[in-house]
């Protein structure tokens, strides 16, 4: 990746520190990913994207900026990419998944908050993430308390616009969400200098719908037994969806789906059909957080679905256009996003319905509830999820962890016992 030194310099990055970060990834990726057997050929594209993670796409972002356009960073699947792309800006997901950034995050944040927040904060303040450094605007949102308060600090380092996200799914709150999307539209028009037209919004809705459709096609293939792709590879594809060029990404996902469909026809899989099928539900796994999948799949169980924001919550439901005017288009977008069932909402019964539905659709043997340390909303919601799973006779296990490797062996022991019990 050293070919990109000039790019990183131009982004004002801390090169010395960044070298240390870059040195960690290849060995880790080789251990977690390249050691897998029977990987689909189509993963070569995603390998390439990871091998130059801080080069290829950031270079495209910078090229876009030199043409006078903007780059916008987001942290939550409630922020509609449709509006960002309609303003001729590029949207990139910035959630931090690396332990490397946590100590820098802890310089300005308390230690006892979720690692995802500490990691993205550390990525920004350490100037070691070219995605952050490329952004002209960051869009925060009022979801959990940790994120809500983190924006106040992040504002010292970047231009941040905060969306007031409702926390109940009532008609009144839906109107509030629409208002917030209108304000976001104005903000995007202001920073880009581009008017968001109905036509531009319709095409970006189609662009993002296509991406979601491709991911759904990929996930549907994971319902097969034997499963044609590992959970680790599927997770990586989902993680890359947050920052890759949407049209190219869609094409590459569709290509790999074609290959997987052939595998299914031939009865080929990456795990024997007797392997236990695991569903993960809970908090998101931002790149390069592959810890839980790696443990589970090293124990020869297959992760077949993730009910997370780096899983089904990201791609389920498309925007259904219900009219041609700007108001109708924004309304259609809001309807799609209001169906996301995040634990920051109360009550959040639909998430429980989703978990039970997905457990059945993907024929899982057990569910692992994944909670990032100090994430209260998801931790508390486990009580009702567990009750519902037990009622259905679906075994489950709660895992609470962070990004460090310190508990890996302990987790492996617990997960091994869980899988043996299934």
How many Cβ atoms are within 10 Å of 3's Cβ, its own excluded?
Answer: 9
- Structural tokens at position 85: 């792309």
> Applying CB under 6 A, does 92 fall inside the site for ligand BJ8?
no
Interface with ligand BJ8 in residues 112-171 (CB under 6 A)? 114, 116-117, 143-144, 146-147
Residues β-bridged to residue 397: 368
Beta strand 277-282 pairing with 366-372 = parallel
Q: Which residue has the tokens 């679906």?
A: 394
Q: How far is the CB of 143 from ligand BJ8 (least distance, A)?
A: 4
Give the DSSP per-residue string, 272-310: -TTS-EEEEEES---TT--HHHHHHHHTT-EEEEEESTT
Q: Which stretch binds ligand BJ8 (CB under 6 A): 54-62, 173-181, 190-198, 373-381?
A: 373-381
Q: How many CA atoms lie within 13 A of 162 on its CB side?
A: 15
At 367, phi and psi to the nearest 5? -120, 130
Q: How many CA atoms lie within 13 A of 382 on its CB side?
A: 20
Q: How far is the CB of 332 from ligand BJ8 (least distance, A)?
A: 19
C-alpha 22/C-alpha 378 separation (Å) is 32
Binding mask 168-207 for ligand BJ8 (x = CB under 6 A): ----------------------------------------
Q: Where are the beta strands (DSSP E) in 153-198?
A: 160-163
C-alpha 366/C-alpha 318 separation (Å) is 28
At 288, phi and psi to the nearest 5? -100, 50
Sheet harboring 396-401: ordered strands across? Answer: 302-307, 277-282, 366-372, 396-401
> Applying CB under 6 A, does 77 fall inside the site for ligand BJ8?
yes
- Compare residues 126 and 371 and give the one whose CB is closer to ligand BJ8: 371
Q: 177, 219, 378, 403: which one contacts ligand BJ8 (CB under 6 A)?
A: 378
> Applying CB under 6 A, does 78 fall inside the site for ligand BJ8?
yes
Q: How far is the CB of 202 from ligand BJ8 (least distance, A)?
A: 25
Q: Count of residues binding ligand BJ8 (CB under 6 A)?
A: 20
Alpha-carbon distance values, 46 to 39, 234, 285, 289 (Å): 12, 10, 17, 16
Q: How far is the CB of 98 from ligand BJ8 (least distance, A)?
A: 15
> Applying CB under 6 A, does 101 fall inside the site for ligand BJ8?
no
- Compare residues 88 and 141 and give the one whose CB is closer to ligand BJ8: 141
- Compare residues 7 and 83 and give the one whose CB is closer to ligand BJ8: 83
> Applying CB under 6 A, does 375 fall inside the site for ligand BJ8?
yes
Specify the length of the chain in residues: 422
- Compare residues 167 and 254 and give the one whose CB is closer to ligand BJ8: 167
Q: 43, 50, 53, 76: which one contacts ligand BJ8 (CB under 6 A)?
A: 76
Binding mask 253-292 for ligand BJ8 (x = CB under 6 A): ------------------------------xx--------
Q: How far is the CB of 117 from ligand BJ8 (least distance, A)?
A: 5
Q: Which residue has the tokens 């799949």?
A: 297
Q: 126, 210, 239, 377: which one contacts ligand BJ8 (CB under 6 A)?
A: 377
Task: Give the residue from 185, 181, 243, 182 showing the smallest Cα distance to 211.
Answer: 243
Task: Give the residue from 353, 262, 271, 343 showing the smallest Cα distance to 309.
Answer: 343
- Compare residues 76 and 260 and give the one whose CB is closer to ligand BJ8: 76
Task: Give the residue from 293, 269, 301, 263 showing the smallest Cα distance to 37.
Answer: 269
Interface with ligand BJ8 in residues 330-359 (CB under 6 A)? 340, 342, 344
Contact 266/274 with Cβ under 8 angstroms? no
Q: How far is the CB of 77 from ligand BJ8 (least distance, A)?
A: 5
C-alpha 365/C-alpha 278 separation (Å) is 6
Q: How far is the CB of 133 from ligand BJ8 (least distance, A)?
A: 22
Q: Which stretch binds ligand BJ8 (CB under 6 A): 131-139, 210-218, 271-279, 372-380?
A: 372-380
Residues that bind ligand BJ8 (CB under 6 A): 76-78, 114, 116-117, 143-144, 146-147, 283-284, 309, 340, 342, 344, 372, 375, 377-378
């Amino acid at each position: 990746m050293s070919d990109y030194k000039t790019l990183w310099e131009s982004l004002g990055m801390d090169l010395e520190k960044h070298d240390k970060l870059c040195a960690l990834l290849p060995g880790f990726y080789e251990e977690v990913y390249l050691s897998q057997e029977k990987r689909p050929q189509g993963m070569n594209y995603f390998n390439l994207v990871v091998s130059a993670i801080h080069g290829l796409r950031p270079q495209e972002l910078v090229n876009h900026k030199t043409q006078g356009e903007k780059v916008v960073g987001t942290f939550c699947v409630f922020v509609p990419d449709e509006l960002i792309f309609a303003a001729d800006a590029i949207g990139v997901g910035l959630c931090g998944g690396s332990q490397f950034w946590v100590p820098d995050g802890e310089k300005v944040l308390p230690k006892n908050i979720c690692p995802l927040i500490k990691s993205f904060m550390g990525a920004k303040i350490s100037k070691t993430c070219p995605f952050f450094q490329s952004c002209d605007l960051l869009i925060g949102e009022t979801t959990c308390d940790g994120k809500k308060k983190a924006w106040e600090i992040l504002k010292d380092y970047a231009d941040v616009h905060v969306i007031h996200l409702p926390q109940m799914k009532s008609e009144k709150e839906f109107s509030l969400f629409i208002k917030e999307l209108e304000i976001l539209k104005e903000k995007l028009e202001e920073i880009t200098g581009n008017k968001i037209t109905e036509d531009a919004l319709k095409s970006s809705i189609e662009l993002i719908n296509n991406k979601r459709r491709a991911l759904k096609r990929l996930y549907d293939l994971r319902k097969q037994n034997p499963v044609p792709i590992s959970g680790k590879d599927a997770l990586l594809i989902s993680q890359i969806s947050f920052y890759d060029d949407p049209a190219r990404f869609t094409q590459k996902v569709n290509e790999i789906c074609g290959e997987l469909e052939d595998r299914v026809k031939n009865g080929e899989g990456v795990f024997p059909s007797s392997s236990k099928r695991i569903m993960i539900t809970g908090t998101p796994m931002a790149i390069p957080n592959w810890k839980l999948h790696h443990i589970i799949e090293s124990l020869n169980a297959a992760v077949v679905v993730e009910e997370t924001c780096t899983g089904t919550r990201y791609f389920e439901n498309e925007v259904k256009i219900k009219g041609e005017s700007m108001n109708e288009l924004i309304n259609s977008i809001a309807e799609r996003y209001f169906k996301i069932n995040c634990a920051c909402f109360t009550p959040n019964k639909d998430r429980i319905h989703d978990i039970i539905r997905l457990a059945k659709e993907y024929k899982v043997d057990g569910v692992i509830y994944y909670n990032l340390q100090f994430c209260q909303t998801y931790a508390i919601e486990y009580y009702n999820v567990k009750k519902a799973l037990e009622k259905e006779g679906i075994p489950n296990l709660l895992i609470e962890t962070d990004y460090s490797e310190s508990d890996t062996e302990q987790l492996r022991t617990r997960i091994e016992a869980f899988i043996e019990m299934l």
